[in-house]
A = this chain, B = another copy of it.
Amino acid sequence: MQTLPSGLPPLQTLRAFTAVARLKSFTMAADDLAVTQTAVSHQIAQLEDWIGGRLFVRDRRGVELTPLGQGLLPDVVGALENLEQALGRARRSLGSPKLRISTSPEFATQWLTPRLTGFCDAHPEVDVSVTVQYRRALVVNDDIDVAIWLSGGMLERGAERLTADEEFAVCAPELARELPRREGMRTAPLLRYEGARYTVLDWRRWHGQIYGDSDKHDFDGGPSYRTFPEMLDACRSGAGFALVRSSLVTDDLAAGRLVRCFTESVVSDLQYQLVIMPSRREEAQIRAFRHWILEQAKPAA
């Protein structure tokens, strides 16, 4: 008969086998492999069942290889080492993969940076760098692999939408308690930042879109900050109201550092988009990043 259930047993059982043979102990091998003793016991039992005979003699103070195990060990160790060398060589031949990201200050600070550690943990071999630019580089140049920028429609060929933003006003929680009504808007300053023209977070326009009465009010004169993060920092301290897009304050809202002042909001016609250099699209670290960031963006979509 001698039917083979399969050509090879699970790889993990072989690694357990070599570890136990080397350390002469299930418990120490388990420690070496960073699993529990239970797992090693199961794996050795599984390999022994697969082969059809005992590989170790279990007795007091550790374990010893049977003749069967002694015959098997050198070949298994050798084959696994060959595999590791060959695969390691193939991997190293590609060099350390790099991932260079370009984005705006507000997106980097409010969205990307807090989440990026997750990607770095999952892909420690990738050398990640983030470049912050105040104005979008019209062409994704050779120093950049992927770019994330706010734009309307699909400007770049192959760009992918990351967010589905609304625009609304936020303030510090204390300010919301003191000035709960719409009229409060005129008793506390309206914060603004210099990028506002480009990113179209403009109080007058926003108010007009909702109430149609933008002419009646004065929207000028509040403090102005150089960047969105600076403005938001002031806002958190209670300096006034800030007009934001939703994807930039999800963390602040969740943590209670900021609250929405009014229920009114405008669906933004600008969205953050992921732009990948077409020639780099197939590289593994870039495919991984794309997969990761689309996943991250999902709940906000």
Instruction: Specify which of B49, B51, B85, B126 is in contact with A87 (CB 8 Å cutoff).
Output: B51
Contact indicator per residue, chain A 59-81, by CB within 8 Å of chain B (1) or not (0):
00000000010011001101110
Tell me if B80 and A75 are in contact (CB < 8 A).
no
Chain A interface, number of residues (Cβ within 8 angstroms):
53
Tell me if B125 and A5 are in contact (CB < 8 A).
yes
Instruction: Supply 11 A–B pairs (Cβ within 8 Å), ascending by A.
Output: A1-B124, A4-B88, A7-B84, A8-B87, A51-B87, A51-B91, A54-B282, A54-B284, A68-B90, A78-B82, A82-B82
Q: Which residues on A are within 8 Å of B, measured CB to CB?
A: 1-5, 7-11, 14-15, 48-54, 68, 71-72, 75-76, 78-80, 82-94, 96-97, 123-127, 282-285, 287-288
Tell me if A124 and B68 are in contact (CB < 8 A).
no
Kindly name the residue among A5, A11, A72, A287 whose own CB sees the greatest number of chain B CB atoms within 10 A: A11
Tell me if B49 and A287 are in contact (CB < 8 A).
yes
Instruction: Specify which of B85, B94, B124, B287 is in contact with A5 (CB 8 Å cutoff).
Output: B124
Least Cβ–Cβ distance between A251 and chain B, in angstroms: 27
Tell me if B83 and A76 are in contact (CB < 8 A).
yes
Tell me if A284 and B79 are in contact (CB < 8 A).
no
A-side interface mostly: helix
Known contacts A87-B51, A284-B51; is A93 also within 8 Å of B79 by CB? no
Tell me if A2 and B79 are in contact (CB < 8 A).
no
Tell me if B96 and A72 are in contact (CB < 8 A).
no
Q: Determine the chain B residues whose CB is within 8 A of the CB of A78 once the complex forms.
A: 82
Q: Determine the chain B residues whose CB is within 8 A of the CB of A4 once the complex forms.
A: 88, 125
Tell me if B285 and A52 are in contact (CB < 8 A).
yes
Instruction: Specify which of B84, B127, B284 is in contact with A48 (CB 8 Å cutoff).
Output: B284
Known contacts A11-B10, A75-B86, A83-B75; is A94 also within 8 Å of B287 by CB? no
Tell me if A1 and B127 are in contact (CB < 8 A).
yes
- Distance A1 CA – B8 CA, assembled complex (angstroms): 33
Instruction: Specify which of B79, B87, B127 is in contact with A72 (CB 8 Å cutoff).
Output: B87
Least Cβ–Cβ distance between A281 and chain B, in angstroms: 11
Least Cβ–Cβ distance between A84 and chain B, in angstroms: 6
Tell me if A125 and B2 are in contact (CB < 8 A).
yes
Q: Determine the chain B residues whose CB is within 8 A of the CB of A288 once the complex forms.
A: 49
Q: Determine the chain B residues whose CB is within 8 A of the CB of A75 once the complex forms.
A: 82-83, 85-86
Q: Determine the chain B residues whose CB is within 8 A of the CB of A86 once the complex forms.
A: 72, 75-76, 79
Q: Determine the chain B residues whose CB is within 8 A of the CB of A96 once the complex forms.
A: 1-2
Apart from A1-B124, A71-B90, what are 18 other A-B pairs with CB-CB below 8 Å? A1-B126, A2-B92, A3-B124, A7-B15, A8-B87, A10-B11, A11-B11, A51-B91, A51-B94, A53-B94, A54-B282, A71-B93, A72-B86, A72-B90, A75-B86, A76-B83, A76-B86, A79-B86
